[in-house]
Structure 1
Amino acid sequence: MQNSRLLSVTLKVLYFVFLVTVMSVCRGQETAPQITKDRQSQTDLNRALQTIPRSIPTAPPEHPGNVFLLGEDVNIKFPKEISNKAVGWRLLDDRRAVIRRGTIDDKKSKALVTIGGLGIGWYRIELLDAAGKVVNWTTAAVLARLAEPVPQDSPVCVDSATSWFAANEPVRQERFAQLAALAGVNWIRDRMSWGGFQRGPDKLPNKTTYDTAATFQARYGLKVLQVFHDTPGWALNEQLDGKRRYKRFPRNLRLLYKFCKAMAQRYKGRVLAWEPWNEANITMFGGHTIDEMCSHQKAAYLGYKAGNPNLTVCWNVYAGAGTRLHSEGVLENETWPYFETYNIHSYQKPDNYLKQFAPAREAACGRPIWITECGVRLLSKTGRPWSELSQEDELKQAKFIARSYAGSLFAGVNRHFFFILGNFPERGVQFGLLRNDQTPGPGYVALAALGRFLAGATCLGRWVPENNPSVRVYAFHSRPDGRQRDVLVIWAEKPTTWSLPTSLPTEAVYDYLGRPLVKNTPTKMDSAAVFVLLPKGAARKLPLEPPLRSSAFRGGEASPVVLQLQMHNNSTKLDQQAHTVPVGEETNLRLFAYNFSNKAVSGTITAEHVPQGCKLVPDRWEITLEPMERKHLPARFSINASGRDAASDGWIKLQGDFADAGQPALAFRLVPK
């Protein structure tokens, strides 16, 4: 998720992305660019890892969510709770200014009112009784018509969790897909429960909510990123994790491999990328150490690729962007051949992204960085199920969106998923862009503005004017309205007066909801971003600070041999990314080696590094592994009193040598109890 172009002219010629031209009614066919690992180091981090057939989205006749396209009459239907007392209506904009009024002539009509000539924007429609009192209300949106299909490399994505928020509701699932497509979204993130999906070791259901959701999303040209974060009860290890600890990884990595392989095969052409867990680094989702995350990642990657070699396999995403120890663990475990994107989350302020994402930029090892959850925490003002935001907070959410996308793309992100499309109240916080009935909040219209103006965008840089450091100017090369242009996203951290240089050839200016403004950029700036469209190349006239990007590419091939340490869950010390052991006595370690290939392999495993004052016996193993076999590596570990500090600061590193099957690595930390 953190970027900059590294493409040479020669490799541009060699690099192709083939767009599939035939699609069935229900599913797309993914195509992964054919490029070797070594050559990948020279490619563009913003490239389209997958392509899918898509057309220009159009609004369905029933206009789900009261979302219309510019030029259409806005037909607002009665809410289900309409009061018989309603005799009139009024139309308000995002500032709650009344812009239209009318009367209700026929309550039996399918539409409350038809309003023509509305421009791009978000609207609130209030129903009034004879005394002028509001008896009910709903919302609507008018979006720009996209001029071309969403570019395959567009960074604008959204988290939807459609399979959960519309579980077994195909009509509602289809609406989510339609609304995401109309907003110009490239990728959409879903959710799966492994335990809910697979009730027994050999039981896979024929049709589930995950199948219908994936089919609808692919049908509307959305690339699906799927994630799971639970283990079925039958796959848990109660000895190490206790009972009903569904958020812990399966200890037997062969079960994980088998599930991932089956999912890759089942959803080929519908789900184009997978995260093999969600936020495993925090207690809510298991509280795993980085060595556990790396072994889990390797087995999942091999499973997915065995099921579908063209699938994009992502890092099992962090809560946050990881710490220094997380990055060290990824590198010490030599995990980079086992992920194709490095995935993170953030709920911080955009100005914090540069610092927060630093560990991810290091650990990404030249792979694209995806932020697959990024939102803003705002307290709802009404009870469930609606959990509405106040007027002030729904505008805060809408204004946050442009700042968040611009800031993350500058900080090195390549795909940005806003959290979340649908109505989602959690512990009093409302994250959703849509209301409970799928009608829009202002944030949905703000997302559509990003989908239009940052279509296929790459970040050119940032300018913080010395004479007014409150101002933020982010520059992009993009395809707004189907034409290559430079786009500036400008706002101020606090209200101020400021102007762009008059020498810039401004073509058009739009506000944070995508509404056209006068050609000159407003001089009064605040937290609501404006989009300034310039001719291609014009932004280079500004003194831009270059965007950050992922660290240098590391090559290498994934070994089918995976090494794993299993420690009791009670020994976990997350703040040190370590497991605790007693001082002055031996601890028996549960070390395992797996062979995920289809032929037997033989080799050695050696303790490459053990911290001073610590002892690992034995320090070398010779083993042969049959296909899909797991073997226990007997080992004893001890820390003497003088080794306390060294153990806390160092990694125990095991290195394998299996000839053509590669050199698997395992690194972990053991600290005094």
Structure 2
Amino acid sequence: MVQAIGLTAADTAEVLVAAAPGAAFLQGEALEFTLKQPVVPPVEWTLRNWRNEVLRRESSNGGKLLLPPLPNGYYRLELSGFTGSRSFAVVPDPGNRPADPDLFFALDSAQSWLARPDNNPRRPENAFEVVSEVARRSGVQMVRDRMSWAETNPAPGRYEWTYYKTNAELLAKRGIALSGMYHDAPDWTRRNTCLPVDLTATYAFAKSAAEAFRGQMTNWEFWNEQDHGFGIESAWDYAAAFKAASLGFRAGNPEATVAVGGFAITPLLPYTDTVMKNGASEYFDIFNVHTYRPLRDFSEILKDIRAHMKRHGMEGRPIWFTETGSGMEGAGSLESFLPGIKMHSPDQELLIAEYLQKMMITMQMLGVDRDFFFVLPPYSEYGGNKDWGLMRRDYTVKPGFAAFATLVDKLGGAEPEGEIEPGEGIKGYLYRHPNGSRTLVYWSVSELDTEPVRPGLSAANRHERTFRLPQQPSPLHGTDMLGTPFTVNGTPIIATRFPAFLDDVGKLAVKTPAIAPATRKSEENATDRTIVYRTDLSSGFRLSAGKDYVDVGEDGAAFNLQVWNLSDRPKEGVITVSGGNCTGIPEKIIIPPFGKTELELTFMPVFDDDFKTELRIDGSFNGRKTTPLVIPVQGLQAMTGAGQKLEITAMHDSANWRRNASGEMEITYDEAEQAVRFHTRFPPIEDRWVYPEYTLQLPQESLKGALGIVFEMKVSDVSAVRQMLLMAVTGEDERDLHLRINAPSEEWTEHSVQFPEGFEPEKVKLLRIGLNSLASDITFLIRNVRFLYRP
């Protein structure tokens, strides 16, 4: 029996330290552990695999444990007399594989932010180096890091790269390239905004950063989730700032590739269409998206993205997901050693490992060019309830790390061929290696494949199913989800919810071929990209909640137009304005190098029959056309005043609404308010959403010809509203519509929502109106729902 001196029932994970960084051993390294706490020998230890099976029990003398060599996999060591266990991974040595700069599997490390010194007593002093080395041991070839513009460029011409440069060098030394992203503009570049208003400063910082990190940051993104929580400005404001940054990146490093800032909401919002209408696609090589959606939604997400790219002539561009992560495991269920910070249970950690492999394989089969899993270091959100990271707070690796390393080892460099049909309830995907051999990855369908994000999911049910493969050699050699090898002698083969890999399989019939990823960069054309338009709009332009259009009265409104020249040569040219009547346009504009001209203009919209138009600025400078400035304009006041209104009385009956929320939801009719009341209580989870559904009673309630929807709404606590959306759902392969709505008040307010250009309302089968909540308990009411039609 171990006697722990000075400790009572101490945690094995705290006192037993692995020699390998992050407790991630490479195959062939000595499996050495040191006891931080003196003990009276002998030390009795038990070794278990990730399935909790006992592999070995022994005693050891002294303050060190040296285990015999182990196959790749994920393990736990238990010490008699101590609580808990010390987990560790054994993964393939990436030095035994050739470098692959195009590797699909990538990680978001965010280490310059997440591995900084903090109040974590178990954070290692050399945390940046530990994270960098753990990344190398995973086999990853590219990680995504973050930078604060305000922090690194506190004054014009002053640059302080600090630990951002430290991390870039640590990773470069290990052969890992960086995809760099920054936001957080310094005060001197903005004016009561999130995005910069000074486009010369935007260009200069991007250029300086690209120069300083050349050879380390091979890809650059400008901004992060600009359609969601990291910007209050319009889509055209983002497009203008992005153009300036892209020009700077390419000036600082002509070899760098540029990605548009990652769009956070899928299906893509009209905001994204407006960014592209402004010519942003001419400034980037990579279309960039984030998703934390469940596995069942990925096919829908990619269809929507490709439809968007086709609309804007970007079919040949690669698609990157620079953030993908799981909410399927729910809030952390265990208390950590940090007060108020929850952590994953072993069951939740296995759910993450399962999700990671299934997600990445699915994404690759759907033609995504590169996927970054969020996130490598430890990180908590939502009041400490959400536990992120493939590393724990003591900077040791979770099972998801071994799952990622196994993916890289088994499928890195292989070409996805497509999906096969192993049997009912079983997924199978075939990969071909450069030497011609094939690997089959397979799993049994679980709740993770089919369920929405909801609390209470568990990996306890393995969902064992069997299948047979025709005409295969025997034995077949395989690898389980966390890298441990196994052998299959004959058939049948057992599939579980956890993916497994079979090497050197014979010929198998592909049912659904994999979609080949696109690889084309943006192309040079005759457009002068260095002329960039930006506006400051007066209060006569009312920005929509979705930041994708403005509402303008028929009397017009004033605005300031800035014409920026982001080149080292003077430019002379003309501009034109369409979509209405505009006053104040000069006959000729002259702009000095890296300068701007400002114009005070007035715009009076000319609406079409749908009460829409576009304020569009085009130009030609030094004989070359420019990319446009496009501001979609809607006449909501004119529409609600002149349009025909059809009241859907059935929507005022609470019985006709279906519950749809991540918590316990009650739908009742409030007689006093003459409204339908929606009350939701949420469990301790981070993703609190409530979107009750109304199914249209077709054909009498068809939205054919509808221009939009008007309704009244109030909420119990306006400060608890994270966002509010109207969803028009077709139930088919066509694009479902998600429209941002201005946050409701605690008093009755009327909301007008207009359908965007190109949407076909006659295909709508159901409507969802609701919100994402910051509170654990929220109530909202809806009344007087009307559909609007042309006069």
Letter aligned with residue 439 of structure 1: T
Letter aligned with residue 528 of structure 1: F
User: CA separation in 1, counterparts of 2:413 and 2:57?
Assistant: 40
User: CA separation in 2, counterparts of 1:631 and 1:478?
Assistant: 56
Residue aligning to 2:438: 486
**Paired residue for 1:624, among 576, 590, 593?**
590
Q: Does the 8 Å CA contact 2:615/2:630 hold for their aligned counterparts?
A: yes
Is 1:603 matched with 2:554? Answer: no
Residue aligning to 2:389: 432
User: CA separation in 1, counterparts of 2:567 and 2:555?
Assistant: 38
Q: Does the 8 Å CA contact 1:276/1:300 hold for their aligned counterparts?
A: yes
User: CA separation in 1, counterparts of 2:626 and 2:188?
Assistant: 32
Provide the identity percentage: 26
Residue aligning to 1:273: 219
User: CA separation in 2, counterparts of 1:100 and 1:137?
Assistant: 14
**Paired residue for 2:250, among 276, 286, 305?**
305
Give the 3-state SS of the residue equivalent to 2:207 in structure 1.
helix
Is 1:637 matched with 2:603? Answer: yes
Residue aligning to 1:541: 509
Is 1:228 matched with 2:191? Answer: no
Residue aligning to 1:189: 144
Normalised by the length of structure 2, the TM-score is 0.68
**Paired residue for 1:594, among 564, 569, 583?**
564
Residue aligning to 1:98: 54
| 1:406-445 matched pairs, under 5 angstroms | 406-427=361-382, 428-445=385-402
Give the 3-state SS of the residue equivalent to 2:611 in structure 1.
helix
- Deviation of 1:62 (Å): 4.6
**Paired residue for 2:355, among 391, 400, 405?**
400
User: CA separation in 2, counterparts of 1:81 and 1:633?
Assistant: 72
Residue aligning to 2:76: 124
Pair 1:623–1:275, CA change in 2 (3 A): same
Letter aligned with residue 621 of structure 2: F
| 1:312-391 matched pairs, under 5 angstroms | 312-321=257-266, 323=268, 325-361=270-306, 362-363=308-309, 364-377=314-327, 378=329, 379-380=331-332, 381-383=334-336, 385=338, 387-391=342-346
Give the 3-state SS of the residue equivalent to 2:534 in structure 1.
strand
Pair 1:321–1:453, CA change in 2 (3 A): farther
Corresponding residue pairs, total = 579
User: CA separation in 2, counterparts of 1:200 and 1:651?
Assistant: 37
Residue aligning to 1:454: 411
User: CA separation in 1, counterparts of 2:324 and 2:19?
Assistant: 31
Q: Does the 8 Å CA contact 1:375/1:420 hold for their aligned counterparts?
A: yes
Q: Does the 8 Å CA contact 2:429/2:441 hold for their aligned counterparts?
A: yes
User: CA separation in 2, counterparts of 1:643 and 1:460?
Assistant: 49
Pair 1:183–1:604, CA change in 2 (3 A): same
Q: Does the 8 Å CA contact 2:271/2:547 hold for their aligned counterparts?
A: no
Is 1:668 matched with 2:635? Answer: no
Letter aligned with residue 666 of structure 1: L
Structure number with greater Rg is: 2
Pair 1:552–1:300, CA change in 2 (3 A): closer
Pair 1:101–1:288, CA change in 2 (3 A): farther
User: CA separation in 2, counterparts of 1:116 and 1:262?
Assistant: 51
* Structure with more strand by fraction: 2
Pair 1:499–1:566, CA change in 2 (3 A): farther
**Paired residue for 1:262, among 193, 208, 218?**
208
- Deviation of 1:579 (Å): 2.9
User: CA separation in 2, counterparts of 1:253 and 1:82?
Assistant: 61
Is 1:512 matched with 2:462? Answer: no
- Deviation of 1:547 (Å): 1.6
Q: Does the 8 Å CA contact 1:332/1:653 hold for their aligned counterparts?
A: no
Letter aligned with residue 367 of structure 1: R
User: CA separation in 2, counterparts of 1:303 and 1:443?
Assistant: 37
- Deviation of 1:276 (Å): 0.9
Pair 1:321–1:375, CA change in 2 (3 A): same
Q: Deviations over 1:247-300 (max 9, x none)?
A: x11012111111101101111112211111111111x21144332222222111
- Deviation of 1:65 (Å): 1.4
**Paired residue for 1:575, among 522, 546, 566?**
546
User: CA separation in 1, counterparts of 2:249 and 2:478?
Assistant: 45
| 1:163-182 matched pairs, under 5 angstroms | 163-167=112-116, 171-182=126-137
User: CA separation in 2, counterparts of 1:420 and 1:568?
Assistant: 41
Pair 1:545–1:574, CA change in 2 (3 A): farther
Pair 1:449–1:348, CA change in 2 (3 A): same
- Deviation of 1:356 (Å): 1.3
Give the 3-state SS of the residue equivalent to 2:588 in structure 1.
strand
Contiguous gaps of at least 5 residues in structure 1? 1-60, 242-247
Contiguous gaps of at least 5 residues in structure 2? 1-17, 118-123, 447-462, 637-791
**Paired residue for 2:494, among 510, 521, 524?**
524
Residue aligning to 2:86: 138
Residue aligning to 2:747: none
Pair 1:394–1:82, CA change in 2 (3 A): farther
Q: Which of the pair has the greater relative contact order for Cα pairs under 8 Å at 6+ separation?
A: 1
Give the 3-state SS of the residue equivalent to 1:631 in structure 2.
strand
User: CA separation in 2, counterparts of 1:267 and 1:553?
Assistant: 21
Greater Cα shift, 353-362 or 407-416: 353-362
User: CA separation in 2, counterparts of 1:236 and 1:84?
Assistant: 64
User: CA separation in 1, counterparts of 2:41 and 2:183?
Assistant: 48
- Deviation of 1:522 (Å): 6.3
Is 1:199 matched with 2:154? Answer: yes
- Deviation of 1:404 (Å): 0.7
Letter aligned with residue 290 of structure 1: A
Q: Deviations over 1:293-333 (max 9, x none)?
A: 22222111101111111112111111135625245324422
User: RMSD value over aligned CA atoms?
Assistant: 2.9
Q: Does the 8 Å CA contact 1:606/1:656 hold for their aligned counterparts?
A: yes
Letter aligned with residue 178 of structure 2: V
| 1:2-81 matched pairs, under 5 angstroms | 62-78=19-35
Is 1:474 matched with 2:422? Answer: no
Q: Deviations over 1:379-404 (max 9, x none)?
A: 22224647431111100001111101
- Deviation of 1:367 (Å): 1.5
User: CA separation in 2, counterparts of 1:621 and 1:156?
Assistant: 53
**Paired residue for 2:619, among 638, 642, 656?**
656
* Structure with more helix by fraction: 1
Q: Deviations over 1:458-477 (max 9, x none)?
A: 33223456x62x32222333
User: CA separation in 2, counterparts of 1:588 and 1:104?
Assistant: 81
- Deviation of 1:510 (Å): 1.5
Q: Deviations over 1:99-156 (max 9, x none)?
A: 22233532xx3x3x11113221111222321xxxx33532211112343233121101
Letter aligned with residue 656 of structure 1: G
- Deviation of 1:161 (Å): 0.9
Q: Does the 8 Å CA contact 2:112/2:128 hold for their aligned counterparts?
A: yes
- Deviation of 1:375 (Å): 1.0
Q: Does the 8 Å CA contact 2:538/2:558 hold for their aligned counterparts?
A: no
Pair 1:291–1:498, CA change in 2 (3 A): farther
Give the 3-state SS of the residue equivalent to 1:575 in structure 2.
coil
**Paired residue for 1:157, among 106, 124, 144?**
106
Q: Deviations over 1:329-379 (max 9, x none)?
A: 244222222111111111112231121133433324411111111111232
Letter aligned with residue 580 of structure 1: D
